[in-house]
Structure 1
Amino acid sequence: MLRFNKKDLNTLNKIISSRRDIRGNNFINKKVSKKKLNIILESALKAPSVGYSQPWHFKIIEDKNLKDKVYNQFEISYKKSFKKFENRPLYKKLKLEGIKESPINIAVFYKKPKKEILGQTYMKKSGEYSVVCAICNMWLTARALNLGLGWVSIVKPKKIRKILNVSKEYKLIGYLCIGYSKDFLKEPELKTIGWEKKKSLKESILK
């Protein structure tokens, strides 16, 4: 049986604590090797999935024209969201993506199964949650490789799917930007600028 020690736990905790959402103002112009990209993708395949369904699918985007189209869709969605944050002018100043700056973009999709899946009888979205677990693995593995990863969520999934020419049976779960970063902040940016306060463990436990 494989067992871990305190040193392993400390290393894992260090990687988890150092994970950051990297944006376009931090990516540098340095190519990511295919070997490292494969390590990140392989880590996704080791994620837990309900009923061992493994419902994840990946579309790797390096083409500049495709990135530009995705970015244009982001811009439309980003500007439309201004009204939702009218009382928070800082929103317009935030750099919230790295689509064009990062050398690799990965669109992560969920494919709905055609058969019944063990464990999904009542919690239908648990298949999508499994894909999120895969993304989390990718994020932590990227950090362990000293690569930055940013998750772009201000996009319309159906629009991105059409841009990437992916069929309707796939649902976009995450759009990721991957590349080398000039820096990894000591604290999450939104915490540092006071966008939100850190939640304590006590506050997170229901009574």
Structure 2
Amino acid sequence: MYDAIRMRRDVRAEFTGDRIDEEQLTRILRAGHNAPSVGNTQPWDFVVVQDPATLGTFADHVAGCRRNFADSLPPERQETFDPIKVEGIRESGTGIVVTYDPSRGGTNILGRHTVDDTGVFSAVLAIQNIWLAAVAEGIGVGWVSFYEEDFLTELVKVPAPIRPIAWLCVGPVSRLQDTPDLVRFGWREARPLSEAVHRESF
């Protein structure tokens, strides 16, 4: 488990182009489905996308969002950002859209009474399980966050009040990088644990 946590990377450029084996995909999805959830609501669903046309449509949308972000940067940050690949949608061959259903479990959800976000947190725990299981399987995962939620909702036909909270690119990889891309390309250094730990108060 500690090895999987240490080795986990947000994969972009290392997908081989091969599609994930169906049995591996099922094991990874089962790991996601085994995540803890507030009130045992299991508020997630997983939309598996492998149609090349849909992958291409989403990739084109993401590319436009990436350009918009790049255009918003000051010149020196644009230069740092330019070589950073932000998605591997076509190359991975498989997308997993993780959704969150706030109505799952009804109106009186044990544990969500005072902290409503625990529902979303539960779905994010499913994403983390998927990611770590993928590492254990030798499979890469890339979390795509350059998209407009309404576009993705319409693309994979997510009904209200459910919302998509992640598109995960999932597929075989040539390797996992030793150093995270954003560190390698100089976007941002990692914080040491000593800066993140506080005792008794912040």
What is the aligned partner in structure 1 of residue 17 from structure 2?
Answer: 29
State whether structure 2 residue 179 is matched by structure 1 residue 190.
Answer: no
Conserved? CA contact 2:84–2:185, under 8 Å = no
Residue 9 of structure 1 aligns with which residue?
none
Corresponding residue number in structure 1 for 2:84: 94
2:138 aligns to what SS in structure 1?
coil
Structure 1, unpaired ranges of 5+: 1-11
Deviation at 1:69, TM superposition (A): 1.3
Provide Cα deviations, 1:5-64, integer angstroms capped at 9, x if missing partner. xxxxxxx111110001111x2111223111100000000111111111100001100001
Q: Is the 8 A contact 1:158 1:172 kept in 2?
A: no
CA deviations on 1:115-157 (whole Å, 9 max, x unpaired) are 2211111211110111000000000000000000100011111
2:66 to 56, 60, 78: 78
Percent sequence identity over matched residues?
A: 30
1:84–1:121 distance in 2 versus 1, CA, 3 Å: farther
The residue type equivalent to 1:101 in the other structure is: E
User: Which residue type is aligned with residue 54 of structure 1?
Assistant: Q
CA–CA distance in structure 2, aligned partners of residues 98 and 181 of structure 1: 11
Which runs of structure 2 are paired with 1:1-207 in the superposition (5 Å)?
A: 12-23=1-12, 25-86=13-74, 87-88=76-77, 89-113=79-103, 114-206=106-198, 207=202
Whole-Å separation in 2 of the counterparts to 1:83 and 1:63 = 31
Q: Which string of whole-angstrom CA distances, capped at 9 and with x for unpartnered residues, describes residues 76-113 of structure 1?
A: 21111124322402212211100111121110000111
Q: After the TM superposition, which segments of 4 or more aligned residues of structure 1 sit over 4 Å from their partners?
A: none
Asked if the contact 1:40–1:141 (Cα under 8 Å) also holds between the matched residues in 2, the reply is yes
Residue 57 of structure 1 contacts residue 109 of structure 1 at CA under 8 Å; is this kept in 2?
yes
SS at match of 2:127: helix
CA distance in 1, matches of 2:107, 2:2: 38
CA drift of 1:71 comes to: 1.1
Following TM superposition, by how much is the alpha carbon of 1:170 offset from its aligned partner in structure 2, in angstroms? 1.3
TM-score relative to the length of structure 2 = 0.92
Number of matched residues?
195
CA contact 2:84–2:182 (8 Å) conserved in 1: no
